[in-house]
Amino acid sequence: MARYLALRVLQAIWVLWAAFTISFVVLYLLPADPISIAADGGGTGTPVDKAAIAELQARYGLDRPLWEQYWTALGHAVRGDLGHSIATGQPVTGAIGDALPATLELTGLALLFAALGGVALAFASTYSRRPWLRSALAALPSLGVSVPTFWTGLLLLQLFSFRLRLAPAFGGHGFAGTVLPALTLALPIGAVIAQVLTAGLASTWRQPYVDVALAKGGSRWWVQRKHVLRPASVPTFTIAGVLIGNMLAGSVVVETVFARQGVGRLTQTAVLAQDIPVVQGIVLLTSVVFVTVNLAVDLLYPLLDPRIATRSRRAAKDEAADDRFGAAEGAAIHG
C-alpha cells in the first residue's frame, strides 16, 4: 500500500509539473504582450510610454531570457508563491482565494444536483420492466450531453427569471441566486453520470450472483440497492476526475452567462488580458483538484467492490512469491 501511495504521489507531482510547464510555454508563445495590454487598461489604443513598459517588464522579470523566467516561476511555485497579477498587481493566491468561495458554492450545489439526477435516472432506466420506457429514459442522457451549456443557461434565465420571476437573473447570492447556475452546470455532468451508471447497472444485472440473490427471494429493488449498485458505480467513480474538470471548465461559461464572480470569471479575464501568473495559478489549482480526486477514487475502489481488493492482495502475494523464488534461485546458482 505504501508503495502504491508513493507511486501515485510521484504521478501527481509529474502531472502538476507538466501542467505548469505546458501552460507556461503556451502563454509565452502568444503573440500579444501582457504588459502592453495591462498598460492600456482602458482599451483606448493610445500609445504607451516605452520607458514605462520597460519598467513594468523589468518589475515582472519579463525582460529576462525565457528559460530564466521559467526556472524562477517554477521555484516560486514550489514554495507556494504564484507571483502577482500583471493586470491588477494583486497576489495571485489572494485573487484566487477571493474568487474561490463563490465557485465552490456553485460547483458544490451543481455536483449535488448532478449526482441526484444522474443516479435517479440510471435507477429508473434499469429498474423499469417496460422496454419502451427503458429506451426513452436511456436516451435522455445523450440529449443532456449534447445541449450547449450557455443555451441551457439562457433558457433557464428566460423562463424562471424574466417570466416567472422566481430567481434573480444576474449576480445573485445564496440558494435563490445559485440554483439556476447550478442547474445549468449540473445538466451535462448529471447526463454523463446517468450514461455511465446505466451501463454499469445493466452489466451488473447480468452477473450470476444477481440471479442467485433473486432466486433467494430478494425483490428487484432490494437486489439493485444491496448487490448491484456498489459494483456498478465503480466506472462512474473512475471518471470522477474528468467530471470535476468539466465542471470547473463549465463554470467559465456559467459564471459569464449569469454574471457571477468566481474562478470562471477570473479565468476569462486573465486569459483575455494574458495575465500569465493568474492563468498559471488557476491551471495549478485545477491540476491539484484533478489529482486529489483521482487519488481519492483509487483509494475508494476496494470499498466499492471487494473483488478489487481481493485481486490486489492476490497480485501482491504473487509478486512476493516471485521475488522469493528469484532470490532462492539466485542463491542456489551462486551457492
Q: What is the pLDDT of residue 113?
A: 93
Tell me: pLDDT of 192 over 70. yes
Smallest CA-to-CA distance from 262 within 250, 272, 274, 273 is with: 250
Q: What is the pLDDT of residue 331?
A: 44
Tell me: pLDDT of 73 over 70. yes
CA distance 180 to 184: 6
Q: What is the mean pLDDT of residues 165-189?
A: 83
Share of the chain above pLDDT 70, in %: 83
Domain 92-305, CATH 1.10.3720.10 — does that match? yes
Tell me: pLDDT of 21 over 60. yes
Q: What is the pLDDT of residue 296?
A: 79
CA distances from 140 to 109, 156, 198 (A): 22, 18, 11
Tell me: pLDDT of 157 over 80. yes
The set of cell numbers assigned to 266 is: 477570473
pLDDT bracket for residue 112 (50, 70, 90) = very high
Q: What is the pLDDT of residue 326?
A: 47
Tell me: pLDDT of 62 over 90. no
Q: What is the pLDDT of residue 308?
A: 57
CA distances from 162 to 165, 168, 181, 234, 261 (A): 6, 9, 15, 41, 21
pLDDT bracket for residue 332 (50, 70, 90) = very low
CA distances from 155 to 9, 58, 178, 257 (A): 43, 48, 15, 11
Q: What is the mean pLDDT of residues 108-113?
A: 92
Tell me: pLDDT of 115 over 50. yes
The pTM of the full predicted model, rounded to 2 decimals, is: 0.76
User: Range(s) for CATH 1.10.3720.10 in the chain?
Assistant: 92-305
What is the C-alpha R_g of the chain?
Answer: 26
